[in-house]
Structure 1
Amino acid sequence: MNAIKWLTGAALLLGLSACASYYPIAVDVSPSAQVGGGVYRGQSVALGSQDARANDYVIQIEQAGKSPVVVGASNNLKVQLEQALAQGLSTQGAFVEQGANTRVQLELQEVLARVIRGHISYDVVQQLRMQLTLERDGRRITKQYRRSAQEEFPGRLHPELDKVKEALNKQLSLMVQDMLADRDVQNFINGN
């Protein structure tokens, strides 16, 4: 009798771990910004960032009757976004250097792609929320940025996380581009 209990328990554990292990524990998140130059004429900015998200995962897979499976970012998301923003500012003509009089602080508030299983497809619902705070000589502006998107992908078994990751990277890249194209941000950095 004990052998049957042991075998049943082992089979149950193996089945549960097989479902959870289908998904990776992390995906590579790498946003980028496609912007043109000529916005700044050598203005210097100091760039910093902080991660104020309630959760450190970026994908949450939801299936009826099962606990959600979460997947994190394999790289530091805060650093990736800061680097994309720095690259964009540099392309636009700014110098990103520590100690500059104009300070730009990026705060991550929400970055999540929820994968919701249907019968023959799954929906990917993305919610992004970030904040930029710019300071110089006692002046300060704060800008909020939000993006949400929903996409449906076919699939009867497991969602393809490569597609989910690509959709998330696209939205993150668009958000960085929103920040770089913001006239209030451009005017503040230019001293207007």
Structure 2
Amino acid sequence: MKSMKWLTAIILTLGLSACASYYPIAVDVSPSAQVGGGVYRGQSVALSSSDARANDFIIQIEQQNKSPVVVGASNNLRIQLEQALAQGLSTQGAFIEQGAGTRVNLQLQEVLARVIRGHISYDVVQQLRLQLTLERNGRTMTKQYRRSAQEEFPGRLHPELDKVKEALNKQLSLLVQDMLADRDVQNFISGN
């Protein structure tokens, strides 16, 4: 009788751990920016970044009567976004130099894709918020950038996290492009 209880406990434990381990603990996020050149004429910019998010996960999977499952980024999201912004500024004609008089700080404030299970599909609700702070010669300018999106993906059992990751990458890339296309930012860096 004791061996039967022991066996039942082992099977139950394995079953519960199998459900929890269905999702990866992290996904690879790699935003990029597609921009044209010719915006800057060799202006130097010192670029830095910080992460002020309340949580370090980027995906939260919510299913009825179950605890949410969270998934992080396998690479450093702050660095990925900073590199995408640096690449875009370089393509536009700016030089990224640490000692430059114009300083740009990118702050991550919210990056979250909530995956909410429906009857035959999953809704992916994304909330993104980034902030740019530019400084030069005692002048400061701060700009907030937000994006929200909702998409529906089919699936009865488990959401496909590759699709969620692609949707998140798309929105993050668009947010970086919003920053790079911002005329206020361009005028500040150009010295206008």
TM bracket, shorter-chain basis: over 0.9
Q: TM-score of the superposition, structure 1-length normalised?
A: 0.98
Match of 1:46, SS state, is strand
Instruction: Determine the structure 1 residue equivalent to 2:185.
Output: 185
In the alignment, the residues of structure 2 paired with residue 183 and residue 104 of structure 1 have an alpha-carbon distance, to the nearest angstrom, of 15
In the alignment, the residues of structure 2 paired with residue 86 and residue 178 of structure 1 have an alpha-carbon distance, to the nearest angstrom, of 14
In the alignment, the residues of structure 1 paired with residue 66 and residue 13 of structure 2 have an alpha-carbon distance, to the nearest angstrom, of 15
2:101 equivalent to 1:101: yes
In the alignment, the residues of structure 1 paired with residue 58 and residue 185 of structure 2 have an alpha-carbon distance, to the nearest angstrom, of 27
Unaligned 5+ segments in structure 2 are none
Q: How does 1:48-87 map to 2 (within 5 A)?
A: 48-87=48-87
Runs of 4+ in 1 over 4 A off after TM superposition: none
In the alignment, the residues of structure 1 paired with residue 136 and residue 156 of structure 2 have an alpha-carbon distance, to the nearest angstrom, of 53
2:137 equivalent to 1:133: no
Instruction: Determine the structure 2 residue equivalent to 1:27.
Output: 27
Instruction: Determine the structure 2 residue equivalent to 1:162.
Output: 162
Match of 2:24, SS state, is coil
In the alignment, the residues of structure 2 paired with residue 126 and residue 53 of structure 1 have an alpha-carbon distance, to the nearest angstrom, of 15
Instruction: Determine the structure 2 residue equivalent to 1:40.
Output: 40
Match of 1:132, SS state, is strand
Q: TM-score of the superposition, structure 2-length normalised?
A: 0.98
Unaligned 5+ segments in structure 1 are none
Instruction: Determine the structure 1 residue equivalent to 2:7.
Output: 7
TM-superposed CA distance for 1:7, in Å, is: 1.8
Give the aligned residue type for 1:171: Q
Match of 2:123, SS state, is strand
Give the aligned residue type for 2:167: A
In the alignment, the residues of structure 2 paired with residue 148 and residue 26 of structure 1 have an alpha-carbon distance, to the nearest angstrom, of 22
* 1:25-59 Cα distance to aligned partner (Å, 9 max, x none): 11000000000001000000000000111111110
Number of residue equivalences: 192
Provide the alpha-carbon RMSD of the alignment: 0.7
Instruction: Determine the structure 2 residue equivalent to 1:174.
Output: 174
Give the aligned residue type for 1:146: R
In the alignment, the residues of structure 2 paired with residue 180 and residue 78 of structure 1 have an alpha-carbon distance, to the nearest angstrom, of 17
